[in-house]
């Protein structure tokens, strides 16, 4: 008689087995090689207080550390191939456990269906959403050949293999999340600052700090709001005694509390 295996319970943004009761927000950052994932993640970290976990960086650090998997990982990266899920998931899991933050950008993962299913099964986390940087191969190739970071895979032969792996294995993962309405697709061919404007709007709900302005009465609060909104650049939200987002604060020259 066969045994009954429970279907994995995947709770959005909550890791039950891995991080105890700690609730985490996870955003997967996907896109072809050179689409600008790492560049935009650095901006998101600075403005929205996420921790950036790049699967590729973790694997490269593992090679450098001289671990027993190092040679296998290095060979796979040189070939543009995807490292077995258990290796990458262990690195991501350890990094999340060590970090006190509860908001993570997971960059370059899941790269294939095996990565995706294994991560959900092991961690019980499903992403809040998937940020997808969409860019042409021509532009990505130009960027990678100009990156100059001494990466073993930034050569034309490996770049072409990585493009093929992206189309064959990573696009289906994006399709999976798209069917669940979780993909936020961004035109990544634009200049860095323009791409970040779009990213910023998506992350606005995760603004890392707010300030509470306490006005003594409704009229005073309306005056605060009017003052902040005087210039179209200043956008505010909230009601009497409401909380101003970091975005609103950054766009104000100064705040005076009435």
Ligand X SMILES: Nc1ccn([C@H]2C[C@H](O)[C@@H](COP(=O)(O)O)O2)c(=O)n1
The binding site for ligand X (CB under 6 A) comprises 33, 54-56, 59, 76-77, 80, 82-83, 88, 108-109, 111, 115, 153, 162
Q: Tokens 């990544």 identify what position? A: 188
* Nearest distance in Å: CB 108, ligand X: 3
Helix (H, G, I), strand (E, B) or coil at 36: coil
Only one of the segments 29-37, 69-77, 82-90, 222-230 lies at the binding site for ligand ATP (rule: CB under 6 A); that segment is 29-37
Task: Take residue 189 and report the two structure tokens written for it.
Answer: 């061919």
Q: Which run of H or E residues covers position 116?
A: helix 113-123
- Near ligand ATP by CB under 6 A: residue from 56, 80, 110, 127: 56
Answer yes or no whether residue 127 interacts with ligand ATP by CB under 6 A.
no
CA–CA dist 129, 57 (Å, integer): 22
CA–CA dist 80, 217 (Å, integer): 62
Q: Residue positions in the annotated binding site?
A: 34-39, 60, 81-83, 108-111, 115, 147, 151, 162, 190
Answer yes or no whether residue 31 interacts with ligand ATP by CB under 6 A.
yes
Q: Which does 55 bind (CB under 5 to 8 A by kind): ligand ATP, ligand X, none?
A: ligand X
Q: Which does 143 bind (CB under 5 to 8 A by kind): ligand X, ligand ATP, none?
A: ligand ATP
Tell me which residue of 114, 69, 120 sits closest to 91, measured CA to CA.
69
CA–CA dist 28, 106 (Å, integer): 5
Q: Which does 195 bind (CB under 5 to 8 A by kind): ligand X, ligand ATP, none?
A: ligand ATP
Only one of the segments 27-35, 65-73, 121-129, 201-209 lies at the binding site for ligand ATP (rule: CB under 6 A); that segment is 27-35
| Cα-based angle 119, 80, 182 (whole degrees, multiple of 5) | 40
**Which CB, 35 or 69, lies closer to ligand ATP?**
35
Q: Which does 59 bind (CB under 5 to 8 A by kind): ligand ATP, ligand X, none?
A: ligand X
Tell me which residue of 243, 203, 197 sits closest to 49, measured CA to CA.
203
CA–CA dist 76, 154 (Å, integer): 14
- Closest residue to ligand X, judged by C-beta, is 56
**Which CB, 76 or 252, lies closer to ligand X?**
76
Task: Take residue 82 and report the two structure tokens written for it.
Answer: 């995807």
CA–CA dist 110, 169 (Å, integer): 10
Rounded to 5 degrees, what are φ and ψ at 238?
A: 120, 165
Answer yes or no whether residue 80 interacts with ligand ATP by CB under 6 A.
no
Q: Residue positions in the annotated binding site for ATP?
A: 34-39, 147, 190
**Which CB, 37 or 182, lies closer to ligand ATP?**
37
CA–CA dist 254, 233 (Å, integer): 13
Q: Which residues contact ligand ATP by CB under 6 A?
A: 31, 33-39, 56, 108, 143, 147, 191-192, 195
């Amino acid at each position: 008689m066969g045994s009954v295996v429970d279907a994995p319970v995947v709770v959005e943004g909550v890791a039950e087995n891995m991080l105890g009761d700690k609730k985490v927000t996870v955003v997967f950052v996907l896109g072809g090689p050179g689409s600008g994932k790492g560049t935009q993640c650095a901006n998101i970290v600075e403005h929205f207080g996420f921790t950036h976990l790049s699967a590729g960086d973790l694997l490269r650090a593992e090679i450098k550390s001289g671990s027993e998997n190092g040679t296998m990982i290095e060979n796979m990266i040189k070939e543009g191939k995807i490292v077995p899920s258990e290796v990458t998931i262990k690195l991501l899991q350890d990094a999340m456990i060590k970090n006190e933050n509860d908001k993570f950008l997971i960059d370059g993962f899941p790269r294939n269906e095996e990565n995706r299913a294994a991560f959900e099964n092991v961690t019980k986390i499903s992403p809040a959403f998937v940020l997808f940087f969409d860019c042409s191969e021509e532009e990505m190739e130009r960027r990678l050949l100009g990156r100059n970071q001494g990466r073993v895979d930034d050569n034309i032969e490996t770049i072409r293999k990585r493009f093929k792996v992206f189309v064959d294995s990573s696009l289906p993962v994006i399709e999976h999340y798209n069917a669940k309405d979780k993909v936020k697709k961004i035109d990544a061919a634009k200049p860095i600052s323009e791409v970040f404007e779009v990213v910023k709007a998506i992350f606005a709900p995760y603004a890392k700090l707010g300030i509470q302005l306490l006005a003594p009465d409704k009229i005073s609060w309306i005056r605060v709001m009017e003052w902040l909104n005087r210039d179209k650049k200043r956008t505010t939200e909230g009601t009497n005694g409401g909380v101003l987002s970091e975005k609103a604060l950054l766009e104000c020259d100064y705040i005076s509390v009435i």
